[in-house]
Amino acid sequence: MGMSHESIHEHLLISARKWARTAVDAYLEEPIDQDFAVHHMAVAVEHASKTYLASIAPVLLASEKQPSVDDLLILSGNEDKTKKGRAGLKTIGGEGAILRAAQLLGPEHKAPAKLKELRESRNGITHMGWGQPVTECRALLAAGIEHINALLKALPTEPDGFWGTHLEACTALVAQAMTEMEIRYQAKLRQAPRALRRDHPAPVRSRDRRTRQQSLRAADCRSVAAVGTCRMPRVRTHRLRKWPGQIWRVRGGLVPPQALRVPPVQSHTHDVGTRPRGNQGPDTQRR
């Protein structure tokens, strides 16, 4: 007899409930068995995602790769027409089932941030025996519980019937994990400016602004080139003129033109019989 739509859905829901409750049991016992808790919660998330897919249409459990004819016959309720039956059934993987379920839940559903890490930790425990520290166990379990609750709401299935006596513990676990994530997030925000200054230190300055100004005032700038090099304070003048004999009034005292080495006025040559144009200095004006 083939598997009906309802039987696939119910079988997956029972399995997801069993794995989820076992995961919470492993977390609540002393000492905490974090490997069992993380592994079983990841399996519960996969089965709960497949439960939601099967509730819509069992063919959604088909592999994301090219499914075989026998796989499609079993998922469509025609198991009796296959050779191996459900023993040879290949369905979508855990990652694909979670992504497909999240897509069907709609854009308003946002998968928990730690859900991918939960699945990767389950693979590490299963294949290599690599577990997670106790400090990370709570956040991973909370991500699985949060995702399963979203699926239960869409099925619809009451959370207390799924979690049983662990409902309050799961609610508190998610709240504590959210609080820890908020604390870590705020701590990272406070540490960000310090880390930025450490990774990108400001250029070292040999002197501050006041010291630089004092050194400039004390500098012996005796040439025009030195004035440009030493960056003297702003010069206040009264109609600077080109001819010698004029005293330049500079902030801090009077500076004679000899100290600044003002170049002498260059005489201009003109053709014979022509009169020079423009103002050529005091001598020209006297003529």
- Considering the domain architecture, whether residues 107 and 220 belong to the same structural domain is answered as no
Which residue in the block uniquely carries the two structure tokens 């198991």?
79
Cβ within 8 Å of residue 55, ≥6 positions away: 9, 155
- Considering the domain architecture, whether residues 41 and 110 belong to the same structural domain is answered as yes
pTM above 0.75, yes or no: no
At 111 the pLDDT is: 86
Cβ within 8 Å of residue 243, ≥6 positions away: 265, 281, 282
- Considering the domain architecture, whether residues 51 and 146 belong to the same structural domain is answered as yes
Structural domain includes residue 87 = yes
- Considering the domain architecture, whether residues 101 and 241 belong to the same structural domain is answered as no
Domain of 251 in residue numbering reads as 215-264
**Nearest residue to 244 via CA among 254, 258, 226:** 258
At 158 the pLDDT is: 92
Does the bond joining 31 to the residue before it have cis omega, within 30 degrees of 0?
yes
Structural domain includes residue 191 = no
At 243 the pLDDT is: 47
Q: Which of 174, 190, 223 is the last residue of a domain?
A: 174
- Considering the domain architecture, whether residues 220 and 144 belong to the same structural domain is answered as no
Looking at the structure of the chain, the number of domains it has is 2
Name residues of the chain where pLDDT drops below 70: 1-5, 132, 134, 180-188, 190, 192-287
CA dist., res. 99 & res. 147, Å (int): 11
**How would you write 179-231 as a 3-class SS string?**
HHHHHHHHHHHHHHHHHHHHHCCCCCCCCCHHHHHHHHHHCCCCCHHHHHHHC
User: Which tokens hold the place of 5?
Assistant: 């739509």
At 7 the pLDDT is: 83
At 59 the pLDDT is: 92
